[in-house]
A and B are shown apart, each in its own frame.
Chain A
Amino acid sequence: MADHTVKAFDEDITRLRGLIAEMGGLAEVAIHEALEALVRGDVELAEGVVARDKKIDALETEVDKLSVRIIALRAPMADDLREVIAALKIAGVVERIGDYSKNIAKRVGMIEGRDRFEPLTLLPAMGEVASEMVHDVLTAYAARDPGLAREVISTDAKVDAFYNSIFRNLVSHMVENPATISSAAQLLFVARNLERIGDHATNVAEMVHFAATGFYPPEEDR
């Protein structure tokens, strides 16, 4: 992006992007640690994830304030305006991603008999794909790279496929082992949360594409 005559505006935009990146970094770690806590049954780690979500919320508020301030004081136009609006929306979505991770972490304590619980092994692979999507979309945001954003959008199909297969797997597991239904149902929600994280990463990718090019990615990518 070209420099502006008003240096302070550049500084504001840089700060805004820094805040989004910080939120994104926290969200990435949250997904990762929530899943690790889930697989290992590490309640302490899960509590850490829940506690750190407050930080993401605080950053979102900061992004909101700063965006409104920029719009009010500088009245940005064209790509500058798109940049600010995208930041505002992305902050909201990243905050949701953090919430989903928190939700996964909260379920860690509710799964019983994890040593023998085979469906637990299905989720990390799905979580890896989802967290990779979040990682890539944040890189795309940092680089203002519409190509990478489109790539992220096409990865979402993979997460959906994972979700479907995990869903079927868990349902058949519940049919065969009625005793584990409550634990398996928790895992269904975890899979659901991961699927939502994938969808939200797709949303961010669309906004990144919009901020960089001025139009939303063509339908065939979605």
Chain B
Amino acid sequence: MDFRQNLPVAGFILAAVAFVALVALGVDIAIAGSVLILWSGSLLLAAARPPEAPAVVVEKPFSRDSMRRLIENSSTALLVTEKNTVAVANRAARRMLGQHIIGQDARVTFRQPEATSLLTQGRSGQAIVRGLVRRQDIWTINRQKVTDELAVIELINQTAEADISRAHTDFVANASHELRTPLAAILGYVETLRESADSLDSPTSQKFLGTIEREGQRLQSLISDLMSLSRVEAEKHDLPEKVLMLRPLTERAAKDAAGPQRSERVQLELNSDFNVQGDEQQLEQLVRNLVDNALKYGSPDKPVVVRLDLAQDGMARICVIDEGEGIAPEQLPHLTRRFYRTDPGRSRASGGTGLGLAIVKHIVERHRGRLNIDSDLGKGTRVVVRLPLAKDLQSGAEDTPAGPSESDPNTTYQQETGAVS
């Protein structure tokens, strides 16, 4: 054993000094010598003891408790399995799959064959399962083997992503269909005009030109609607800053929508005025779209009432009420979807783009307002937009939920919206 490093040099020196001192004091040299030998011998014996081993930092095995604490608050659903029995499940996992999963076979939690084969193979890997919690939802199960017995399972919800990409595809498909239809008509008529320019009489070619003009205008309004929709959507998280007077704006927009021909049908009941924080152009477009819809789909001889007043909850309320055939209850939940039409033929014939209410919904959401549509078949439709007053918004802006979404609770319907879809 090597203990040279801890030879007590100072002790030896002290012993030697004591020896010299004893000799100098006249003690017998033999006694002094034996004291020296005893002293240094005992020092040597003490030194011969092996040096104390440096304290080794022993890593404690990762206990189940510490693991549980570590993953408990993760928003991702996480499970730890031991011999394919669920040993630990964090809060997200318990909320999703139920309290009962702990201590049970992992196959009880994931019944899907893809998942069970992943579990029984006992290796790391991924599986995609459908309908784990609700029908049609899509989850990725990610299993990471830790030891032969332990494994960590991570659950990732892919449903929203799939929904978004589907919505995106739907939108592109719809938009391109809507854009192509007028173009096809325009191109067709232009071709006819060019090829048979000599044989066509003037009224017929005038009729064709009229169609081309109408389809061109439709294309134009479709594109401008698409653009304003994407503009509102791009800004949907920013509350507009400008404070506006609602009454002059509503009046102007309603008259604008009616135009000179239909202005008699619009009945304005603007008795009070409110300050709201808003984007002038967008709010004008909102009123314009609603009044235009009401005039278009209400009975042609019945008035359309535009009313501005204070709602019970202290918000400014704009009501647009028409008397007409109304909308069937099962269609109400879909009205604000893009390109949704209750009656495609009639809507196209009257120059609708199918985007009007979608734009309205997005504008209302951007202004942190609420949209409410209710309708009685055969009687008429009543669209209510409520907007928060400017001073309320200043104080309450912080606690408003940030992002309006496609399924925003702010958009409500009087009728039962739980329609089968």
Interface set of A (CB-CB < 8 Å, partner B)? 14-15, 17-22, 24-26, 28-29, 52, 128, 132, 135, 138-139, 142-145
A17 adjacent to B104 (CB under 8 Å): yes
Q: How far is the CB of A21 from chain B (nearest CB, A)?
A: 4
Partner of B111, one of A21, A52, A143, A144: A21
Inside 8 A of A14's CB, which chain B residues have their CB?
A: 85, 103-105
Q: Once bound together, how far apart are the Cα atoms of A20 and B233, in whole Å?
A: 49
- Tell me, in angstroms, the Cα distance from A46 to B238 when the chains sit together: 52
Task: Say whether B112 faces chain A, with CB atoms less than 8 Å apart.
Answer: yes
Q: Are the CB atoms of A138 and B111 closer together than 8 Å?
A: yes
Contact: A25 with B135, CB < 8 Å?
no
Residues from 69 to 112 in B contacting A, C-beta threshold 8 Å: 84-85, 98-101, 103-112
Contact A128 B101 (CB under 8 A): no
Chain B, 122-175, CB within 8 A of any chain A CB: 131, 135
Among A25, A52, A135, A143, the residue within 8 A (CB) of B116 is: A25
Question: What residues on A are CB-neighbors of B99 within 8 Å?
Answer: 143
Q: How far is the CB of A63 from chain B (nearest CB, A)?
A: 12
Contact A29 B113 (CB under 8 A): yes
* Beta-carbon contact of A25 and B98 below 8 Å: no
A142 touching B104 in the complex, CB below 8 Å, given contacts A18-B84, A132-B135: yes
Contact A18:B131 (CB < 8 A) given known A25-B112, A142-B101:
no
From A19, A25, A139, A145, contact of B113 by CB (8 A): A25
B115 contacts the other chain (CB 8 A): yes
Interface size class of B (residues with CB under 8 A): 20 to 34
A-B contact count (CB 8 A): 59
Which residue among B107, B110, B115 has the maximum number of chain A CB atoms within 10 Å of its CB? B107
Chain B, residue nearest A55 (CB) = B113
Docked Cα-Cα span, A73 to B111, in Å, equals 28
**Distance A28 CA – B130 CA, assembled complex (angstroms):** 11
**B109 neighbours in A (Cβ, 8 Å):** 21, 142
Closest residue to A139 on the B side, CB-wise? Answer: B98
B98, B107, B113: the one within 8 Å of A18 (CB) = B107
Whether A22 lies near B107 (C-beta < 8 A) is yes
Choose among A29, A139, A144 the residue that contacts B112 (Cβ–Cβ < 8 A).
A29
Tell me the bound Cα distance from A24 to B84 in angstroms. 18
Q: Name the distance in Å between A148's Cβ and chain B's nearest Cβ.
A: 10
In B169-218, the 8 Å CB interface with A consists of none
A21 and B113 in contact (CB under 8 A), knowing A132-B135, A143-B98, A143-B100?
no
Write the chain B residue with the least CB distance to A128. B135
The contact of B108 among A17, A52, A128, A135, by CB within 8 Å, is A17
A52 to B100, CA, bound (A): 29
- 5 further A-B contacts with Cβ under 8 Å, apart from A21-B116, A25-B116, are A18-B107, A21-B108, A25-B113, A142-B101, A142-B109
Residues of chain A within 8 A (CB-CB) of B106 are 18
Q: Is the CB of B111 within 8 A of A24?
A: yes
A82 to B393 CA separation, bound complex (whole angstroms):
61
30 residue pairs from A and B, CB less than 8 Å apart:
A14-B85, A14-B103, A14-B104, A14-B105, A15-B105, A20-B108, A21-B108, A21-B109, A21-B111, A22-B107, A22-B111, A22-B113, A24-B111, A25-B110, A25-B112, A25-B113, A25-B116, A52-B113, A132-B135, A135-B131, A135-B135, A138-B111, A139-B98, A142-B98, A142-B100, A142-B101, A142-B104, A142-B111, A143-B98, A144-B100
Chain B hits for A145, CB < 8 A = 100
Residue in A15, A20, A25, A26 with the greatest tally of chain B CB atoms within 10 Å = A25
Cβ of A169 to closest chain B Cβ, rounded Å: 18
- The answer to whether A25 and B111 have CB atoms under 8 Å apart is yes
**Nearest-neighbor residue (CB-CB) of B133 within chain A:** A139
B135 to chain A, nearest CB (A): 6
B-chain residues with CB within 8 Å of residue A52 when the two chains form the complex: 113
Cα distance A28–B104 in the bound complex, in angstroms? 20
Q: How far is the CA of A14 from the CA of B104 in the complex (A)?
A: 6
**Pair A18/B135 contact, Cβ less than 8 Å:** no
**Nearest-Cβ distance from residue B116 to partner chain A, whole angstroms:** 5
